[in-house]
Structure 1
C-alpha cells in the first residue's frame, strides 16, 4: 500500500476555525479535542450544499426528497466503512447519550431480577448511567470492573468473577476520555461472549484517534459521536443485525419498523448527516487503498503517527515538571493523545482561565463526565483535572506555547 505523506499545514488549512483570531488578534490553540474537535471544511461544504440546494423530508416523489433519501443511504454506508459494519446496522440520533438511553429502554425485556450488568470505573458516565437505569428498571445488579489506581488501566485480575453466568450485558469504553488509556475491550468482550452476554462499546473517544473494527471487537452495540472526529453534533449507533431486528423501540405507529430506521424516531438532522459524509471523506483523503475501508484505515494510521509525536513531546515535558501530577498509564500501555493532570497548589479552573486569557489556549478542566474516576481519585475539591487532548491539526509549535504558558503560571504562582 502506498504511503501517504502527512502535512499538518495542509490539514490545518482545511479547518476554518484555526484561522479565526480573537479580539486581541491572537490565533486560538485548540487543545480540547476530547470535548469536541473543530469542524473540517469538507463537513461544512456538504452541510451548506444540502441546505442551499433545497432540503426536504423523506420518501417523496420530488427531487429534494429523493436527494435526502440518497443522502441518508450514503451516510450509512460511509459509517459502515468507517466502523466495519453493515449499513443496515447504522442509525443516527441526537448524541451518544440519548441513543444509549433509547437502546437501554429497548433492552429491558431481555433482563430480569438477578441478572447482572458489567460496567467500568474508567468510563464516561454515558456508558454507565444508561445501564444503571436499565438495572433499576429490571431488578438487575450492576458490577464495576475497577480501575488500577497505580497503572490507570482497568484491573482485569478478577474478570472471571465479575463476568459470570449471570452477566447479561458488558459495557466497555474503547479508550478513556480522561487518561487516554486504550482498554483491552476485545479481551473483555471475548470473556463476555463465553457467557452469551451482550457487548456494548463506547467508541466516542476512540474513533478520532485509531481505526475501530466493529466485527473484530465482537461488539453487539457501538456508539460514537461525529463532533468528536471533525464533524457535526450527531450521535451514531451500530447494532448487530440479529440483535437490532429483535429489539423494539418506542415509535409512532406508522413509522418504519425495519432496521435501522426503527431507532431513528422523528425527522433526522439531515444537514448534519450531510456534514458527516464530508467528515468521513476528510479521513479517507489522508490514506490510500483499494477501497474506502482501506483508505479510512490508512488515514487513521496517518493521524495516529502524527498524534504520537505530539503525545511524546507533551508527556516528556509534563513529566519533567515537579509541580505536575500526571494521571497517565505507563508507557507500555497504548494510549490516545489525551492527558489529565493537576498542578500542585493551583486550582484547575484558575489554571485554565490563565491559559485562556493570557495565551488563548483552549484547555478544559473538571471531571469530564468520568465522575467515578473523580471519586476514586478525589480531585474535585481543587477543580478536578486539567485535560489536554490533541487532534491532527495540532502542532509541536502549539505545544511550545503551552510550555511557556505553564512556566509563566508557575512563576506567577510562586510570587503570590
Structure 2
C-alpha cells in the first residue's frame, strides 16, 4: 500500500481509534458494512456545513450541488470503468434493483424465463422473482454445489434457453466469498440474447471491477461496503438505460441517468461516496484516477490475501469447525463462513463481543436459499468473519486465541 503500514492506514478510520473512554472494537464484520474512512466523513461534513441545496438553482449552493452529482458520477465511473452517464444513485442496492425490475416489466412476458441463483443474496433474487411473478414468467435457478459452495455452471446450456430474457447473478458470495465465473455466465446469456444483472455489492470492496470488460447490462453496489456512507449505486449500459421505461414524476428529467433518480437524492452521501473513492485512490499509483483506483484495489487485495491465508489455515485445522469454503483453485474474497458443532451461531458471536470486543456476525445473511439447502438454519446460520484493509495480523491472532478459548471452555469441558 502507498501508506507505509496498515497502522498508518488505520489512522484514516476514526472508529478504530482508542480513547480513554472507549476501548476500540475489532471489526470483522466488513461484509455487512465497513467502517467509514475519514475522507468520506470529511466530504459529508464539508457539504453539510458549507451550505446544502437542491438542484438546478441559480444560486451558489445549488450550483455546487449540481457539480457534486456530476463529480460523484465521474468518481464511480472511474471506479467501475463505465461512463458517468451510466451511473445512477438510489437509497440502496435493493431499492435500485426493485426499481430496475419494475422498469424491465415491459420487456418480460408470460412465455419468458428469468434465471437467478441459489448462491446469491436475496437482493439479487427477489426483485427478479417478483418481476417473474407479476408477468407470469418462469423462474429458473443455477444450483449451488453443496460441496464446493460454487455455482454448478456445467448446467448452463440446459438452464439458459431461447426463452431466457434476464439473468441475475452475484459476482461474489457475501457468505462464502466464492467469486463466480461471471465471464462464462455472461457469454452463455448473450448467446440467447438475455440481459445480465450483476450484484457486485460484496465484490467491489475486494476486487478491481471493469464494467466494460464484464459486458453485463446492469451492475449494482453499495458505498457502505467500501468505506463510505449508505447509498446505492447502479451502472446501467447506456444501450439499455436509454430505452428503459421508469416510474417517475412527469416534470422530472427524461434523460439518463437522471430519469432513474426519483426525488431528491442524498447529496451528503454522494459527497461521502466521493471521499470513500478518494481513500481507495490514495492507496494506488498511476497517471489517471482509474489507474490509481485499480492499483489501490490490487493492493487492498494483496494485504487481505495475506490475512486470508492465515485465517483459512487456522479454521481448517480446528476439528470442531465446519468451514464453508470453495476449493483452492476457486477465487474467493476474504470472507469466511463456518459453524461449530452442537453450537448456535449467536452464542459464539455474543461471546466474542462480550469477551473480546470483537464484531463477528451470525445468521443466513440473506443468502437464505443456500442456508436452507446447506441445513445451517437450525444452528442459527453461519458464523461469518470478513476482513478489510484495516484489519491486522494481531487482530487475526486474537481471533484465533478467542476461538480456541471458546472451544476449550464451552465444547471440550
Question: Same-fold call, TM > 0.5?
Answer: yes
What is the correspondence of 1:6-405 to structure 2 with a 5 Å cutoff? 7-20=5-18, 25-405=22-402
Instruction: Answer whether contact 1:170 1:197 (CA < 8 A) is retained.
Output: yes
1:406 aligns with 2:403: yes
Instruction: Answer whether contact 1:202 1:224 (CA < 8 A) is retained.
Output: yes
Query: 2: CA distance between counterparts of 1:10 and 1:82?
Result: 23
Query: 2: CA distance between counterparts of 1:362 and 1:52?
Result: 32
Secondary structure of residue in 2 paired with 1:158:
helix
Secondary structure of residue in 2 paired with 1:224:
strand
Instruction: Answer whether contact 1:143 1:162 (CA < 8 A) is retained.
Output: yes
Return closer, same or farther for 1:344/1:240 CA change in 2, 3 Å cut-off. Answer: same
Aligned-pair CA distance for 1:187: 1.2
Secondary structure of residue in 2 paired with 1:171:
strand
Secondary structure of residue in 1 paired with 2:242:
helix
Query: 1: CA distance between counterparts of 2:212 and 2:159?
Result: 24
Give TM-score scaled by structure 1 length. Answer: 0.98
Secondary structure of residue in 1 paired with 2:385:
strand
Aligned-pair CA distance for 1:331: 1.0
Aligned-pair CA distance for 1:144: 0.4
Secondary structure of residue in 1 paired with 2:65:
helix
How many pairs are equivalent? 413
Query: 2: CA distance between counterparts of 1:224 and 1:103?
Result: 14
Instruction: Answer whether contact 1:6 1:286 (CA < 8 A) is retained.
Output: no
Aligned-pair CA distance for 1:7: 2.0
Structure 1 unaligned segments of length 5 or more: list them. none
Query: 2: CA distance between counterparts of 1:353 and 1:125?
Result: 25
Return closer, same or farther for 1:248/1:6 CA change in 2, 3 Å cut-off. Answer: farther
Q: For residues 91-115 of structure 1, what are the alpha-carbon distances to aligned partners after superposition, in whole Å with 9 as ceiling and x for unaligned?
A: 0000000000000000000010120
Aligned-pair CA distance for 1:157: 1.2
Runs of 4+ in 1 over 4 A off after TM superposition: 3-6, 20-23
Query: 2: CA distance between counterparts of 1:382 and 1:205?
Result: 24
Return closer, same or farther for 1:189/1:415 CA change in 2, 3 Å cut-off. Answer: closer
RMSD: 1.2
Secondary structure of residue in 2 paired with 1:147:
coil
Query: 1: CA distance between counterparts of 2:24 and 2:400?
Result: 17
Return closer, same or farther for 1:39/1:377 CA change in 2, 3 Å cut-off. Answer: same
Q: For residues 243-291 of structure 1, what are the alpha-carbon distances to aligned partners after superposition, in whole Å with 9 as ceiling and x for unaligned?
A: 1010111111111111000100000000000000000011011101111
Return closer, same or farther for 1:317/1:21 CA change in 2, 3 Å cut-off. Answer: farther
Query: 1: CA distance between counterparts of 2:231 and 2:143?
Result: 30
Query: 2: CA distance between counterparts of 1:291 and 1:315?
Result: 35
Give TM-score scaled by structure 2 length. Answer: 0.98
Structure 2 unaligned segments of length 5 or more: list them. none
